[in-house]
C-alpha cells in the first residue's frame, strides 16, 4: 500500500488563502481588481469557468485555421524565389512611381514595392518574378531614364533568389520543431506527469497555430526571420506553462489528505498565485519587442526586423494566455477523469453541503 503524501500547512489551515467554493470567496470578490490580482488569493475563478475559456480558445483557433486555409500566407522572396531590384530612395522617387515605370517597361506588375532603411541609406526594394538578363537591363534603363538625373543605371542593382534555399530552411525548421517538441514532452513527463505533458503540448500547439494564423490575417511576408521568431517563442510558452504547473504541483501535493478543497480549486489557487508573475514576465518581454518595432522598423526602416518583432510579440502574448486559460483548465479536465480525483471531489462537495446544512 503506497504511503499518501502528508497535507501541506495550506491544506489544513482554515485561514489559508481563499478559493472559489470557500465561504470567504464571495467576500474576497468584493475587493478591488488590483488588490485581488496582487494578493493571489484565488478570487479569479479561472478553472471553474473553464468551458468559457475553451469556447474562446476554440473560436480563436477556428479563425486562425480558416485564415490559413483560405487566405494562406504571403511567402517572401526567399521561399518563392524571384528577382529583387534595389535603387536609392531619393526625391522624386516614390514606390508608386517605381511600380508604374516597371509595369510600363515590362508589361508586368511588380509583386511588391517597399522602402527599406532611412536617411541617406534608404532604398526602394522591388520584388519581381524571375527576370532574364535582358529584362533586368530594360528595367534598369527605364528607371534611370524616368528618374534622371537623380539616379543612373549603375545605381540600380538586382539579384536573383532561388526558392530552393527557402525550401531547405523550411525543412530544417520542421526538423528543429519536432526535436524541440519531443524534448519538451519528455522533460515535462519526467518533471511532472502525463496529464501535465499533454496539457503543455496542447498549449504549444495552440501557440503555434494562433501565431501563424495572425501572420496570415495581417498578411506579413513569411521570411527566414519569421521562422526563427516562431521557434524562439516556443521557449517562452514552455517556460510560462512550467511555472504555472510547478505551483499547481505544490498546491495539490497531499490534496487527498484533506477534504477542504478539490483538485480544481487548488489548481485555481495556483493560477491566481502565478498571475502577477506571468503578467510581469510578459510585460518585461514585450517592452523590448515594442522598442524593436518602433526604433528598428519605424525609425530606421529595417523591414526584416518587422517580421521577427511581430511573431515574437504575438507569441509572447498568446503564450501567456494559453498557459493560464488553456493548459491549466485542460489539466483539471483530464485529472477529473481519474477515479481518485473524482472521488475526492465528491467527498469535498458532500462535506461542504453537510457543513452548509
pLDDT for the residue 158: 82
pLDDT confidence band for 63 (50 / 70 / 90) = very high
How do residues 252-288 score in pLDDT, each as one tens digit?
888 888 888 889 989 998 888 888 888 888 888 888 8
List the CATH code of the domain at 82-161. Answer: 3.30.70.260
Would you tell me how many other CB atoms lie within 10 Å of the CB of residue 76? 22
**CATH H-level, domain 19-34+43-74+165-356: superfamily:** Multidrug efflux transporter AcrB transmembrane domain (1.20.1640.10)
What is the Cα–Cα distance from 233 to 212, expressed in whole angstroms?
A: 12
pLDDT for the residue 322: 92
What is the Cα–Cα distance from 10 to 16, expressed in whole angstroms?
A: 5
Say yes or no to pLDDT of 242 above 80. yes
Residues of the chain within CATH 1.20.1640.10 domain(s) are 19-34+43-74+165-356
Sheet holding 82-88, edge to edge: 112-116, 123-128, 82-88, 157-161
Say yes or no to pLDDT of 224 above 70. yes
Question: Between helices 163-191 and 224-252, what is the axis angle to 10°?
Answer: 10
- What is the per-residue burial (b if ≥16 Cβ within 10 Å, else e) of 27-65? ebeeeeeeebbebbbbbbbbbbebeebeeebeebbeebe
| Sequence-separated (6 or more) residues with CB below 8 Å from residue 175 | none
In this structure, what DSSP letter does residue 48 have? T
- What is the per-residue burial (b if ≥16 Cβ within 10 Å, else e) of 327-350? bbbbbbbbbeeeeebeebbeebee
SS3 readout for 165-179: HHHHHHHHHHHHHHH
pLDDT for the residue 2: 41
**pTM: predicted TM-score of the whole model, two decimal places:** 0.74
Whole-number percent of the chain with pLDDT over 70: 83
Strands (E), 187-245: 221-222
pLDDT for the residue 1: 42
- H/E stretch holding 292 reads none
Residue with more model confidence, 20 or 338: 338
Say yes or no to pLDDT of 346 above 80. yes
How do residues 29-45 score in pLDDT, each as one tens digit?
555 555 565 555 556 78
Residue keyed to cell 472559489? 20
Q: Count of alpha carbons within 13 Å of 110, Cβ hemisphere only?
A: 24
Residues of the chain within CATH 3.30.70.260 domain(s) are 82-161
Task: List helix spans (H) across 71-162.
Answer: 77-80, 95-106, 133-146
Amino acid at each position: 500500500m503506497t504511503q499518501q503524501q502528508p497535507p501541506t500547512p495550506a491544506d489544513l489551515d482554515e485561514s489559508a488563502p481563499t478559493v472559489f467554493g470557500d465561504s470567504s470567496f464571495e467576500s474576497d470578490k468584493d475587493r478591488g481588481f488590483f488588490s485581488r490580482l496582487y494578493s493571489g488569493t484565488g478570487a479569479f475563478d479561472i478553472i471553474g469557468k473553464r468551458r468559457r475559456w475553451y469556447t474562446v480558445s476554440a473560436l480563436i483557433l477556428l479563425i486562425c485555421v480558416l485564415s490559413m486555409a483560405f487566405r494562406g500566407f504571403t511567402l517572401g522572396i526567399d521561399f518563392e524565389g524571384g528577382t529583387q531590384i534595389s535603387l536609392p530612395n531619393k526625391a522624386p522617387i516614390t514606390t508608386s512611381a517605381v511600380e508604374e515605370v516597371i509595369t510600363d517597361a515590362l508589361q508586368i506588375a511588380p509583386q511588391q514595392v517597399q522602402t527599406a532603411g532611412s536617411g541617406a541609406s534608404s532604398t526602394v526594394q522591388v520584388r519581381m518574378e524571375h527576370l532574364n538578363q535582358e529584362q533586368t537591363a530594360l528595367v534598369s534603363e527605364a528607371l534611370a531614364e524616368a528618374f534622371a538625373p537623380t539616379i543612373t543605371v549603375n545605381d540600380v542593382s538586382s539579384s536573383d533568389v532561388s526558392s530552393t534555399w527557402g525550401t531547405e530552411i523550411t525543412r530544417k525548421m520542421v526538423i528543429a520543431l519536432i526535436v524541440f517538441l519531443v524534448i519538451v514532452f519528455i522533460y515535462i513527463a519526467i518533471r511532472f506527469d502525463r496529464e501535465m505533458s499533454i496539457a503543455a503540448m496542447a498549449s504549444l500547439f495552440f501557440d503555434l497555430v494562433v501565431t501563424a494564423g495572425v501572420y496570415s490575417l495581417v498578411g506579413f511576408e513569411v521570411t527566414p526571420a519569421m521562422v526563427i521568431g516562431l521557434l524562439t517563442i516556443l521557449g517562452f510558452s514552455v517556460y510560462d506553462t512550467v511555472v504555472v504547473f510547478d505551483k499547481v504541483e505544490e498546491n495539490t501535493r497531499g490534496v487527498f489528505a484533506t477534504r477542504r478543497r478539490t483538485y480544481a480549486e487548488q489548481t485555481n489557487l495556483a493560477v491566481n498565485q502565478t498571475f502577477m508573475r506571468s503578467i510581469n514576465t510578459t510585460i518585461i518581454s514585450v517592452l523590448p519587442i515594442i522598442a524593436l518595432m518602433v526604433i528598428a522598423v519605424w525609425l530606421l526602416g529595417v523591414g526584416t526586423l518587422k517580421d521577427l518583432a511581430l511573431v515574437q510579440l504575438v507569441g509572447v502574448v498568446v503564450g501567456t494566455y494559453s498557459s493560464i486559460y488553456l493548459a491549466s483548465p485542460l489539466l483539471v479536465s483530464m485529472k477529473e477523469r481519474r477515479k481518485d480525483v473524482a472521488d475526492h471531489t465528491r467527498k469535498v462537495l458532500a462535506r461542504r453541503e453537510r457543513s452548509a446544512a
